[in-house]
Structure 1
Amino acid sequence: MLDLAVLLHSYANSTRPGHGRFLSQSFSGNPIKQKGLGRDVKPKNNQQFGARGRLVNLVSCISMKTLTRKEEIIEVASQLFKEKGYNAVSMRDIALAMGIKAASLYNHISGKQELLSTLILRVAREFTLGMNSVMQSSESPLKKIERIIELHIDITVNYSEGLAALNNDWMHLENEDLESFVRMREDYEENFRQIIKQGIELGEIKSYHPEVILFSILSTLRTLYLWYQKRGKLDVNLLKREMVAVLIQGII
């Protein structure tokens, strides 16, 4: 079996010329010469590595992007938080996934809490900016709801790891970060609620209880990231068109 340490060592030394060859070969199934062993090793299917295989995929994906060191740390942490949950991930786990020493992480971040708050508040601000744009428009309530659905889909596609942290680990935020997140979430829901009520008053939306409509739409949209990844990368425009049709059809 291909040693995980060899893969991590390769990533840690990724600034060396030709570093990409190691990882690309490890996924193609071609023999890899393990340094110091003097023999070729035929990698098995990556799924056979279980957690190790997922870690290899993670390192490979990150290495293909042009990110600052801090952004790399956030990216790796977001993947691990999503897979294992915030409480189950240590700074040592993050360092191991990056092939560096845990102490090196603190040159770029203050700790795990900073990683969590960065992930969650980044996504929360995207929702807030999107909702502010919707609220400032002169569109009908029904059209505003369509735009909110599309907003959730865009954020799902672009921030799936951040959404996982937001939905599953927001309660681990601390102090001002927790207060800021809760305030943004409550403001978002209240704006959505007011749009629904206005739609009912204007006769665009059936006179169901606004809380039932709000819950029905948001509960679907907030778990969309789970379904979207399991189904594979669907065409975003198709997803927007059909989700808008399905969710809106039940309230008009």
Structure 2
Amino acid sequence: MKPTRKQEIIQIAASLFKEKGYSAVSMRDIAQAMDMKAASLYNHISGKQEILATLIIEVAEQFTAEMNRITSETISPLQKIKKVIEIHIDITVTYSENIATLNNDWMHLEGEDLRRVVKMREAYEENFRSIIKQGISEGDIKPQHPEVILFSILSTLRTLYLWNEKRGKMDVNILKKDMVAVLINGIV
């Protein structure tokens, strides 16, 4: 199915945001990349804020839904962490431009969109933290500080879109297998 003009605008803007950053991209830049007049963009979209919110909220909602699904499953904390890592990889590979915008430009959101994204992010991290703490208390995970574990895993996953692009986009199944192994078992 052919994307709508609005979807095309959002996709072009996502590429520009990823390349230059949200602040450096103007509606005129987006229009130029679309080979149309800037004023014509406003027939399809209200402005950069709408584009930014669309890109970020789309993936934030996916992360939230997947985390809620994983936390409700009756599996071990280690299995939940494995699934969280795999979901991050899937979403990152599928939506790398959205992930770039989420990671680099979320702070440019305004009003309710900003509050909503911050709330989703905090809930996501708290759910992940709870899984880690449960794993520690059950003896499945070494008794290391939960914040260090959370930071180590999330910082790796949040920058995956950059690394994967530089390396020529590895096969998603290899990424899942090897990243899960390294992030859960370490390298020794």
TM-score bin, normalised by smaller chain: over 0.9
Within 5 Å, give how 1:187-206 maps onto structure 2. 187-206=123-142
Question: Which residue of 2 is the match for residue 78 of structure 1?
Answer: 14
What secondary structure sits across from 2:176 in the alignment? helix
What secondary structure sits across from 1:162 in the alignment? helix
Unaligned runs of 5+ residues in structure 2 are none
Within 5 Å, give how 1:45-56 maps onto structure 2. none
Work out which of the residue numbers 164, 174, 177 in structure 1 matches 2:100.
Answer: 164
The separation in 1 between residues aligned to 2:175 and 2:145, in whole angstroms, is 27
| Residue 120 (1) aligns with residue 120 (2) | no
Letter in 2 for 1:92: R
Aligned CA-pair RMSD: 1.3
Moved over 4 A (4+): none
Within 5 Å, give how 1:220-239 maps onto structure 2. 220-239=156-175
In the TM superposition, residue 187 of structure 1 has moved relative to its aligned partner by 0.1
The separation in 2 between residues aligned to 1:68 and 1:215, in whole angstroms, is 38
Say whether the 8 Å CA contact 1:117–1:173 is kept in structure 2.
Answer: yes
Say whether the 8 Å CA contact 1:213–1:251 is kept in structure 2.
Answer: no
Normalising by structure 2, we get a TM-score of: 0.98
In the TM superposition, residue 251 of structure 1 has moved relative to its aligned partner by 10
Question: Which residue of 2 is the match for residue 67 of structure 1?
Answer: 3
Normalising by structure 1, we get a TM-score of: 0.73
Aligned residues: 188
The separation in 1 between residues aligned to 2:112 and 2:20, in whole angstroms, is 25
Flag the structure with higher helix content.
2
Letter in 2 for 1:82: K
Letter in 2 for 1:85: G
Residue deviations 1:166-217, cap 9 Å, x none? 0110000000000000000000000000000000011000000100100011
Work out which of the residue numbers 149, 152, 158 in structure 1 matches 2:85.
Answer: 149
Percent identity, aligned pairs only?
70
Question: Which residue of 2 is the match for residue 28 of structure 1?
Answer: none
What secondary structure sits across from 2:74 in the alignment? coil
Letter in 2 for 1:182: V
Unaligned runs of 5+ residues in structure 1 are 1-64
Relative contact order (C-alpha < 8 Å, sep 6+): which is higher?
2
Letter in 2 for 1:193: R
